[in-house]
Structure 1
Amino acid sequence: MADVEKTEEMHKLFDKTAKVYDQSGVEFFGPIGRRLVEFSGVSAGQSVLDVGCGRGAALFPAADAVGADGEVIGIDISEEMVKYAREDAGRRGLGQVTLAVMNGQAPDFPAARFDAVIGSCSLFIWTNGPDDVRPYRELLRPGGRFATAAPSFFSTLRGKWALFPEAVNDLLMPYMLTSLKQNGAYDSQFANAGSNWLATPEAIEKTLTEAGLTDVEVREEELPVVVESGRQWVDFTYTTGMRGMWERIEEAERAELVQEVSRRLDGLRDDSGSITTPVPIVYIRANAPRD
């Protein structure tokens, strides 16, 4: 898992991003969170831990799934993320939801506490192998479900990443790699793509099996991300962890890059005037042994 310095980097980034996180008007984290909860099989009356809950993309669908007789605990390293998620939970009247500021890399709960441990677009940031996954398995009751979702890393073996539209991958990937080398927060998932446990379905199954989980299922599905302009896509990325990449680029160079990215994406408009870029998302589920 990430060391103290890298954890602090994540903390600062997501505290800074929390106010606008998933608030750009572009449908992204919400659909992924809803699909993850559906894929996880969370059901009424269960106890669920949402690791790296952000502003609630999976937290609130999980609350709907478990109902008033269940419970969902959301944890996030960012105080600001937790603040906004707690406010939203209150407005929704979700008494079954509890939120806490906690480092998702070291969740502080008793063993066998939960029926399900989920993480939507979060766990991939800091998990590098079975040793990092094992703590989540230990939180599960016998037969409990581990489930996570992430932008697909299957294409990283070809020097690409799912979050970047094909038309701008060659522009942005070098900046992403430079940013990652500077802050270290997500480094292994890119720089060591060949050994990344998320790079292939086989690697995922091997990692989760070695972590003590069983019945591993991996599914890649395309999420259509719709924007009205190339600039809206750029603005959307500022409301995600990709903000860290943009902020590490010198101002004048960044302005030129934004202009070129916007120009290329504007060339993808369909007859309705919208731009749709398919983003492959990987959904993963596995079970804790029953005995």
Structure 2
Amino acid sequence: MKSAQAADMSARVAALFNRVADTYDAVGVPWFGPIAERLVAELEPRPGERALDLGTGRGAALWPLAAAVGPTGHVTAIDLAEQMIAATHVDAAALGLDTVTLLVADASNPGLAQEFDLAVALLVLFFLPDPASALRAWRGLLVPGCRLGVSTFGPRDAAWESVDAVFTPYLPKQLLDARTSGTRGPFATDAGVEGLLTNAGFAHTRTTHISQPAHFDDVDQWHRWSMSHGQRSHWLAVPEPARADVLALAAERLEAARDPLGGFTLTQRVRFTVGTRPALSRHSSERRALV
């Protein structure tokens, strides 16, 4: 059973992502898609496999998973935000996908009965009240010998650090997400994230990275993008009379990221951590069969 604090955090996350469901990943800035495609590729899904997408959002990982497992496979996608699931269900129907199941469920403890061949969590783990507990729950959903992949944030370039710092004076502790507070705790290093998986019972953990650029045509597009996903909570933490000043300061700092295309490019290092649920030993398998 969730503590009151954890339940409150989950409710706040759900409310935030319900609010951004219509604009999420839809303002002309490729971001979640390229990260999701790399995460899925790290797990090498095969035709016929059963995949689980934990915190699907608007389906950035769902679509490449469905393509990879093909018509003989299946993808179950869950999200805590009802509006995210509703909007993604419309998208799946428009694509004619009948190998996808979309459910409103909490990634902290999905409560699913079936087992899966692989699972992905795209930029989800650091939003959860108890990441270690969630990883143990995810391990239990995998067939022994099968794999989990999670993506988390590494360092940003100096310009991005400077731009995001415009919010810091206004943010209460609970809004300091992994990119804001990523110098502390397990999400600060590869070893820290791998340790979370290892302590939850995963084996053969490994980490790879990409440097993911985000290009903005102008300040207005950066503003719309920052309002279209989790960072919207940062804007809401700024008192309304101060928001114009915060935007002006962000525009000033974005100049450090001006690129040859005439817009701005910020770069984020993204970490992909993969682990495997250990296969049952022969002795364990025989004992299980006798029970």
Residue of structure 1 equivalent to 2:62 = 59
Question: Which has the greater radius of gyration?
Answer: 2
Residue of structure 2 equivalent to 1:159 = none
Corresponding residue to 1:217 among 206, 209, 234: 206
Residue of structure 1 equivalent to 2:103 = 100
Moved more, 262-271 or 1-10: 262-271
Q: CA deviation at 1:110?
A: 2.3
Residue of structure 2 equivalent to 1:150 = 152
2: distance between equivalents of 1:206 and 1:151?
Answer: 16
Q: Deviations over 1:255-288 (max 9, x none)?
A: 1111121233145322321322111111111101
Q: CA deviation at 1:11?
A: 1.1
SS at match of 2:29: coil
2: distance between equivalents of 1:253 and 1:259?
Answer: 10
Residue of structure 2 equivalent to 1:243 = 232
1:10–1:185 Cα contact (<8 Å) kept: no
Percent identical pairs in the alignment equals: 29
1:275 aligns with 2:234: no
1:6–1:185 Cα contact (<8 Å) kept: no
Mapping for residues 1-291 of structure 1, pairs under 5 Å: 3-110=6-113, 113-126=115-128, 128-152=130-154, 155=155, 162=156, 166-167=158-159, 169-170=161-162, 172-173=164-165, 175-176=167-168, 178-181=170-173, 184=174, 193-194=183-184, 196-291=185-280
Change (3 A) 1:188 1:167: closer
Q: CA deviation at 1:125?
A: 1.2
Residue of structure 2 equivalent to 1:158 = none
Aligned residues: 277
Change (3 A) 1:268 1:189: closer
Change (3 A) 1:202 1:141: same
Q: TM-score, normalised by structure 1?
A: 0.88
Q: CA deviation at 1:190?
A: 5.6
Change (3 A) 1:80 1:282: same
Letter in 2 for 1:133: L
Q: Deviations over 1:62-118 (max 9, x none)?
A: 00010010000110011100011000001111111110111111101126x100111
In structure 1, stretches of 5+ residues that fail to align are 156-161
Letter in 2 for 1:37: V
1: distance between equivalents of 2:82 and 2:169?
Answer: 28
Q: CA deviation at 1:175?
A: 2.8
SS at match of 1:273: coil
1: distance between equivalents of 2:160 and 2:183?
Answer: 20
The root-mean-square deviation of aligned C-alpha atoms, in Å, is 2.1
Q: CA deviation at 1:186?
A: 5.5
Residue of structure 1 equivalent to 2:289 = none
SS at match of 2:51: strand
Q: Deviations over 1:227-268 (max 9, x none)?
A: 111331121111110000101101221111111212331453
Q: Deviations over 1:3-28 (max 9, x none)?
A: 11111111110111101111111000
1: distance between equivalents of 2:72 and 2:79?
Answer: 23
1: distance between equivalents of 2:169 and 2:197?
Answer: 27
Change (3 A) 1:210 1:281: same
SS at match of 1:27: coil
